[in-house]
Amino acid sequence: MSRRIVMCVLVFLIPCALFAQFEGKIVGTVMDQKSREPLRGVNILVEGTNYGAASDAQGYFFILNVPAGLYSVRSSYIGYKSMVITQVRVSMGLTAEVNFELESTILEGEEVTVIAKRKLFEKSATSSISIANAEDLETIPIRGTQNIISTMAGVIVQDGAVHIRGARDGEVGYFVNGVSTINPVTNRNALAPIQEAIEEIQALAGGYTADMGGANAGVVKTELKTGTTSLTGSIDYRLDGFGDPSEGKKFLDTYTYGHKLAVATLSGPLLSKKIRFFLAGEMNNQDDSEVRFSKGYKFENLVDSNPQNLELDTVTLKYPDGFTPFRNDKQYSLNGTLTLDLPIRINIGGMISSRKYDVLDGQGNAPMLVTLNDRSNYYENNTMLLTVKATKVFSPVTYLDIKASYYQYHRELGDNWFGNDWQKYYDSTAVANYTDGEVVYRNSWRPQYNYYVNGFPIERNGAPYNLFLDQKHQYIGTTADLITQYGRYHQLKLGADYRYYTIRSFSISPSVMDYTAPNGTFNYTTYGSIKDVPADIWMLNGAVNAYGYDIYGNETDDVIRYADTTGKSLGYIDAPKHPKQFSAYLMDKIEYNDLIINLGVRMDYFDLDDKTLKNPADPEVDKDASMLAQDAWEKIKPEPIFSPRIGLSFPVTDRTVFYMQYGKFVQMPSLNNVYFSTFTLARQIVRQGYYFLNPVGFGLNPLKTTSYEIGFRQQISENAAMDVTAFYKNIRGLVQIINQKIDPTASIPGRYERYTNGDFATTKGMEFRLNLRRINRLSTQINYTLTQAEGTQSNSNSAQGALYFNAQMPTTINPLDYSATHTGSINLDYRFGKKDGGLLLSQSGINLLMQFSSGHPYTHVNVNIGGQTDPYTAGIDYMQDTRDRLAAEPIGSSLTPLTFNTDLRIDKTFQIMNKELTAYVLVTNLFNRKNVVNVYEKTGSASDDGFLSNPLYSATTIAANGGQQYIDLYKAINLENAQAYWDNIVREIYGNPRQIFFGLKFSF
């Protein structure tokens, strides 16, 4: 029945309308300057566009569907001077108010120009909102969408993940020109626009209207620039120092990291002013993309102690100051828009990004263990988003937007020597040919054993990483909106959105090629070619995880079943996944004088193209293949979910606006918690394993959030305003890992791990914003957030330790380890105008950005003495294997230290005829503060992991691995550079050090 309802709604909506509106609206009144009487029939025109209107009998006018940007609005009327109001800022989804008071005249052609004041706050917003426009982005001393929104109230970036108002990573929606840029596998943003191409960026933390979905925590909306009526452009180039960064030398007491950034823009008409284009291209090359606090070292004549090596060599380990090798990152991006102001207005947009960056061992976090190895891996990400929107205006009050979009993402983890030819990774002949005989393997398909230097595993040259990965995601989307202004007060919107995904993934351990060697490493049967290896042996020993590919990495659209010559089942590989997402919504925006009400209801329908076990406690087994039978699974039947939303704002006084918001929000779980090779999963469940396998959530439901907020905006003076918001969120259905116990009478024993919807969280807090309009050259923006975020677990794998001990799953709430109680930012911009400050200071400015955080929760632990200790990871073993630790206090009772960071930009613009040349210096972490962002849970320190400092833990290991030489090596690698923590916990101990950029920008 539910499917029929959804299809009926779809059939009804698609013919008439289908997309979320991200344009703004201009409203206002026109009156006689002296009599104060309204003027009817006044022509209102947005200059440089086809947008316009005429005032009614009350002098009122409105202009719909205006893209975000800065405009001049003209009014003209016979017998009156024309008036032009410049610098009118229109924001996405909001209403800009422009009022005219016309002066009568007997002369024709007279004109009055007025510069609009920058708004101190958005009266038309019915929820909390943070906005940065193109002018803000031009002078702020940071770059990138994530860095920009991190300065906004309610947003925290911890360990590279974005959290809004205490929500988990992956609950933020990202939209560019109204189209989602979320990677559904990770639920993270996959495509960030070039900063110079952004007209406006908004962060909606409290709630949002019914035309947006797929995000529980908040939404980040970005609008790209559109073409201008005259030809303009710019070229910008910056670098972070001079010389070879790998030498570890300082310039101005700061290391250089080999960063070079070039950006070019071009905008203008194409054949006619009715056809306009905008293009932006970016090249970003970073020799060291990590930019971390590091200290060099040199150890000579270290003796290899690996007993597997027949000849024990001596080696020299050398590492540069301030530079992380094997971290080159190159990215090329192109953004563009094409606007056709025809009877049917057409907007075409495109974003393309190609990025390739070096990694080591799949993560790139162990450079100190591979200083002897010239071989590394790479990740290559290629992303594309294309959109076409057609707008049909039926009347001044009604129009239809229809948009089609295509998204494509391709990710590859490969080898820098052999690219994606993974069959050569372990081929000794191919390696020898590539290195002209310099690298010799110990046999046909295996490299030489690692060195063990005082217990530290040091890779030899030519050692490969045993993984190849190929992933492809794409979606085709169609969306539309039918918008009509019903009378003066109601703006109605009916819309829908449909996305059809195709998701493929293939990964393999290339060492499985050893099965094709006549003299293999191990004592097992060898085969002449990869297709001679039985499929089950190939998949099991190659750790093949595939859907949408066969077991050799070739794309397929079908389920592939494998059998031996007798017909015995050897397993099967899944077809590509086709999740589908459909939503429909109905909205009414009521603007009654200064009272604004946003009413809406949204229906979401998520089909994950997923299967679940018919009986998780007793699944049917295919005994021939030693895996779950195909009949053990059944398709999941999704259900529609309805989400009401309401927001309102109204004036309390002429300077105070009260607002409140309530809404329900849903989103799909990350598909990397859902999708896995059925063969691998089924084999693991049947054959079991250790306490942690590869958990997958079959049958996961959407995540649900209920959000409340209340606040007020207060104009303090003519040039200052504040915004205070209180919020509360209730989050249900978060993903957690559990033990699935199996019926004792079942054909397979024990238990297995899987994901399910079981965690919950509550967050509450307050946000404060202060906006000071520019006075005496200085403008100021201050943001502060007070947050209390608590939940049963901080991420889906937090309970791994409890699973091992078969303990009860957490049911009480504790502080979430990524949140911070106090966060904030202060942005000061001091700027001279064109004819201000004399020749030296005119068109110069300084921008100072300060950010702080009170630190995030962690739990101090006690560690068991004894057991096996790895000499390299001895200080952090307990953080990986929770069996070796015990909480010494209530969960989340301790806090990491306060962090404080200052960024600076100084610039000066020179006029060269009618062109501009801007020279600037940009400094991140101005005071080179060593901010502690994580600590060792045993000690609460960032500099002491508690291993060497406690002989009870370390004495035996020190004695067995070279005494003082081991101590010196451990200090250099793990204490001064936090290598083991970074490598295994995949987090940093400290924030980034100071970086100085020098740049020139030429504009015309």
Q: What is the pLDDT of residue 801?
A: 66
Q: Enter the tokens of residue 689.
A: 């394993």
d(CA 54, CA 56): 7
pLDDT at 13: 34
Task: Tell whether 102 is covered by a domain.
Answer: yes
Can you give the residue range of the structural domain that contains 104? Answer: 2-115
Question: Which residues does 557 contact at the CB level (< 8 Å), separation at least 6?
Answer: 548, 575, 576
pLDDT digits (tens, 9 = 90+) for 299-340: 999 999 999 988 888 999 999 999 999 899 999 999 999 999
The verdict on residue 299 lying in a domain is: no
245 neighbors 695 (Cβ within 8 angstroms): no
Q: What is the pLDDT of residue 746?
A: 75
Residue 54 lies in a domain: yes
pTM of this structure: 0.91
Q: What is the pLDDT of residue 342?
A: 87
pLDDT band at 869 (very low <50, low <70, confident <90, very high): confident
Residue 522 pLDDT class (50, 70, 90 cuts) = low
The string of pLDDT tens digits covering residues 947-977 is: 999 998 899 999 999 999 999 999 999 999 9
Residue 527 lies in a domain: no
362 vs 202 pLDDT, higher one: 202
- Cβ contact 278:67 at 8 Å: no
What end-to-end distance do the CA atoms of the chain give, in Å? 61
Question: In the prediction, which pLDDT does 694 show?
Answer: 65
DSSP-based three-state secondary structure for 589: strand
- Which strand (E) or helix (H) includes residue 687? helix 678-687
- Tell me what the mean pLDDT of segment 3-13 comes to: 38
Mean pLDDT of 843-858: 97
Winning range, highest mean pLDDT, from 323-327, 514-518, 738-742:
323-327
Q: 74 pLDDT exceeds 90? A: yes
Instruction: Give the mean model confidence (pLDDT) for residues 121-126.
Output: 84
**Average pLDDT, whole number, for the chain?**
90
Q: Residue 61 maps to which CATH number?
A: 2.60.40.1120
Average pLDDT of span 585-594: 92
Query: Is 360 domain-assigned?
Result: no
Phi and psi angles of residue 865, each rounded to the nearest 5 degrees, phi first: -90, 140
Closest among 714, 852, 707 to 784, alpha carbons compared: 852
Share of the chain above pLDDT 70, in %: 94
Q: Does residue 140 form part of some domain?
A: no
Phi, psi of 686 (to 5 degrees): -75, -45
Across the range 375-380, mean pLDDT stands at: 93
Count the residues in the chain. 1004
Please calculate the CA angle 347-348-351 and round it to the nearest 5 degrees.
Answer: 135
Q: What is the mean pLDDT of residues 235-242?
A: 94
> What single-letter amino acid sits at 527?
Y
Positive or negative: CA dihedral 155, 160, 166, 170: positive
Would residue 39 count as lying in a domain? Answer: yes
What's the average model confidence in pLDDT over 533-546? 88
Q: Work out the pLDDT band at 11, boundaries 50, 70, 90.
A: very low
Whether residue 667 is predicted with pLDDT greater than 90 in this model: the reply is: yes
d(CA 750, CA 533) in angstroms, rounded, equals 31
Q: Which residues contact 900 (CB under 8 A, 6 or more apart)?
A: 850, 851, 852, 929, 931
Highest mean pLDDT among 114-123, 245-254, 504-513, 610-619: 504-513
Burial of 931 (0-12, 13-18, 19+ CB in 10 A): buried
CA-nearest of 766, 606, 574 to 671 is 606
Whether residue 467 is contained in a domain is answered as no
Question: What's the pLDDT band for 585 if we cut at 50, 70, 90?
Answer: very high
